Amino acid sequence: MEFLTIILGFFGGLGIFLYGTHLLSNSLQRIAASKIRAYLIKITDKRWKGIFSGIAATFFLQSSTVTSILVVGLVSSAVLSLSQAFGIIIGSAIGTTLTVQVLTFNISEYSTLFIFFGAVITVFIKHSKWKNSGLILLSIGFIFYGISLISSSVSPVSSYEPVIDALLYVSGQPVLFAFLAMLLAALFHSSAAVILIGIAFIDNGIMTAEVLIPLILGANAGSAIPVIVSSLSMSSEGKKLAFFSFLFNFSGAVLFLIFLPIMMQIIGYLPGDPGRQVAHFHTLFNVVNTLIFLPLLPMVAKGFKHFFPEKEEEPVFRVKLNDKILDVPEEALIHSKREIVKLATLVQTDMIKQLVNFMDGKHEAKELVKTESIIDTSYITIQKYLLKLGQNDLTNSQSNEEVKLLHILNDIEHIGDSVLRFVGAAEKVSKKNIELGKKDLSQIKELLFYIERANSNSLSAFRDNDTLIARENIQSQSFVNQFENDIKFEHFNSLINKQEYNPDISAVYLDITNQLLQIYKHSMNISRTVLGLI
């Protein structure tokens, strides 16, 4: 029964610790993700700056995985080079060690106070900034309470000889010890958790700091395995960064294991108690590994470009969104906007710009139908992605941005529908043997010119978040409205003068112009959404 209590206490503490780290990362992300992203763009022009930015980003976000996702997005957007991104990744490894340094301070006895005040703020204060602060306090409390439970459950283990014998056997096989630590870090998605378990063994006199070195090395290598698994569904940039992260940690672990006797002597000279020495050695390992890799980054980047060659762009339009990024809402919104911009550009180039050619018989209706089918499929994919994102705990600004993107996506899809209805109306001209006057055709083409310009301006305003273009675009609407009234008046006046009584002529003409005006309306809606007029 006592042994069962130990097991339950250990895994309960581990679960509380892992949940606390997850909650802390999410809470900090809500506050700092967008600022960290901008920070990474500004100060990564030098390799050493990239390393320091990786350290800072990972420490403030409390997640090397979140840092990696931000970096993947920046590399995909060509904001960062691969070499700069590698610098941030190795910096993030050092940033993770700072977390272990903080967690080795013995403040577990105050963990319940953190939990109490965090819960009170989260439950009773609804303001978003205070709520985030409450979640941070709550998560810190969970982390240290989890550490306390792990330590207290490990303490009785020293009286169980079979367990001690097993631990002594494993610790006497450095490669096996490192391998098991690597598997545990991959399973827990946390190298810090594995290292803190090791420190709990030290605090209870079961192991020494020297014996724990293989565990530290293995945990570092294992922390990169979940990133590799998640990168399998990512872009080529994501794969490169994930494999580099594993290469960095794994090769460093192998190198240190080769010189294990020397490492065991070095750890004894580090300051502090044995638990603190483990934290210092963890930091030392990553700093030394960084110094080894730093001058090699350009060469490593070239090697990765050789082994991961760039694929040619696919001729068929395809939405590229990754569910893994949903865990970082700020980045998921940026990726969603990028795909909506691509879709809007497709509508502009392959539909709206082709309507004049269609009227002149130079573009087939089946091509427009094919493009509209791509738009419908892409619309559903992006909409589902944004709705999944909306199920996360978004900040007010993130929620507003999501709603804006859904509105614009809806307008883009409606433009595609209106284009097809225009095509159907235009085809009635030949089916019903209707002959539109040259003046009518000329004015329809002129209306198309205004529509194309309005849609292009809305696309630019949306892509660049340019409120000036959006405002000027909306101000031009009165001119187009007047043009609509003028051409309809001239059409009816022309029929009266010709004494033409065929109602099909006006029905088809009005159907054509009304569908074009629907395209114009949805294009203008995009500009309004950019200005927040929704």
Q: Domain ranges in the chain?
A: 2-307, 323-530
Rounded CA-CA distance 217/101 in Å is 16
What DSSP character marks residue 147? H
What DSSP character marks residue 321? -
Coil, helix or strand at residue 253: helix
Residue matched to tokens 């004494």 = 499
**Helix, strand, coil % in the chain, rounded to nearest 5:** 85, 0, 15
Tokens of 217: 């090395």
Task: Answer for the pair 214, 177: CB distance below 8 angstroms, yes or no.
Answer: yes
Tokens of 398: 């993130």
Task: Answer for the pair 69, 323: CB distance below 8 angstroms, yes or no.
Answer: no
User: Whole-model pTM above 0.95?
Assistant: no
Rounded CA-CA distance 103/96 in Å is 11
Q: Residue-wise pLDDT tens for the chain (534 aa)?
A: 466 777 788 888 888 888 888 787 777 777 767 677 776 766 655 667 778 888 888 777 767 767 777 777 777 666 677 777 888 888 888 888 888 888 777 777 778 888 888 888 888 887 767 777 888 888 888 888 888 888 788 777 666 677 677 777 887 899 999 999 999 888 888 888 888 888 888 887 888 888 889 999 999 888 888 777 766 666 677 778 778 888 888 998 999 999 989 998 889 888 888 888 988 999 999 899 988 888 888 888 788 777 776 665 555 678 888 787 887 888 889 889 999 999 999 999 999 988 888 877 777 888 888 989 999 999 999 999 999 998 887 888 888 999 999 999 999 999 999 988 888 877 776 666 666 677 878 888 888 899 999 999 999 999 999 999 999 999 988 888 888 788 877 777 776 676 665 666 677 778 888 888 899 999 999 999 999 877
Domain 323-530, architecture per CATH = Up-down Bundle (1.20)
> What are the backbone dihedrals phi and psi of residue 391, each rounded to the nearest 5 degrees, phi first?
-80, -15
Those residues whose C-beta lies under 8 Å from the C-beta of residue 391, and which sit 6 or more positions away, are: none
Residue matched to tokens 């872009």 = 235
Rounded CA-CA distance 432/506 in Å is 12
CB atoms within 10 A of CB 283: 17
- CA–CA–CA angle 518, 424, 376 (5° rounding): 65
